Structure 1
Amino acid sequence: MSIELPRPIADFVEANARLDLNGMMKPFRRDALFIDNGKRFEGEAAIRELFEQEVIPVKAIFVPDAVREEEGDIVVEGPAHGDFPGSPLRFTYRFTLADGAIETLETKV
């Protein structure tokens, strides 16, 4: 199923599918906040480190299959698969966008 995503989110998802770290970082604001199952990563360096340690090594790729707007945020759901226990796992990604970039991303399993 093909779904339409706002450009910054689509860019992030497409880069993640290629495990392209720089491409994954590009749609984020420099001062972005990433909340991963309650753990906070603030700013470009912290988010990059998270991707370098938790996403790229296990080849975690998120494949969105549903999208909706909720309280001004874009909520995207779908499975993530890779070389990690329980793969694939279903995730919910909640994006807050500002000025054409990802300001906040919160993920939950």
Structure 2
Amino acid sequence: MNDITLPKAVDDFVAATNAHDANDLAAVFGDGATVGDDGKTWAGEAEIREWIQGHLIGPRVVLTPTSFADDRLVASADGDFPGGPLSFAFVFGIKDDRVTSLAIDPV
């Protein structure tokens, strides 16, 4: 991964996303986690699984990290969507090696 050292939760998120494994991806998130993406917030396991399927698994997103600092991952995302690859910033809240919050914005 371009010699970028990632915290376990972030590394697990990238690996599960790139493997297109919805169950492993859902397991990265802790109880009560939230995801903010596309101007909407998904909260709790059921909504996060919906977001995972619609935003990562369905379009077969592959992330290539380009930098990580202060809980902020910048990555190139490619997949079955128009205009790719696109760069996004993923800002993680992490506790006990699990994602508690994730905010995603275009870079």
Query: What TM-score do the two structures reach when normalised by structure 2?
Result: 0.92
Matched, 1:28 2:25: no
Hey, what does 2:16 align to over in structure 1?
15
Superposition CA RMSD, Å: 1.0
Separation (CA, whole Å) in 1 of partners of 2:51 and 2:34: 12
Hey, what does 1:86 align to over in structure 2?
83
TM-aligned CA deviation for residue 65 of structure 1: 1.1
- Runs of 4 or more consecutive aligned structure 1 residues displaced over 2 Å after TM superposition: none
Query: One-letter code of the match for 2:28?
Result: P
Matched, 1:96 2:88: no
Query: One-letter code of the match for 2:77?
Result: A
Query: One-letter code of the match for 2:67?
Result: A
Hey, what does 2:47 align to over in structure 1?
46
Query: One-letter code of the match for 1:31?
Result: G
1:65 match: secondary structure: strand
1:44 match: secondary structure: helix
Consecutive unaligned residues of structure 2, counting only runs of 5 or more, are none
Consecutive unaligned residues of structure 1, counting only runs of 5 or more, are none
What per-residue deviation string (whole Å, max 9, x for no partner) do you get for residues 4-62 of structure 1? 11001101111111101111111111210000033100011101011112221211122
The answer to which structure has the higher helix fraction is: 2
Hey, what does 2:72 align to over in structure 1?
75
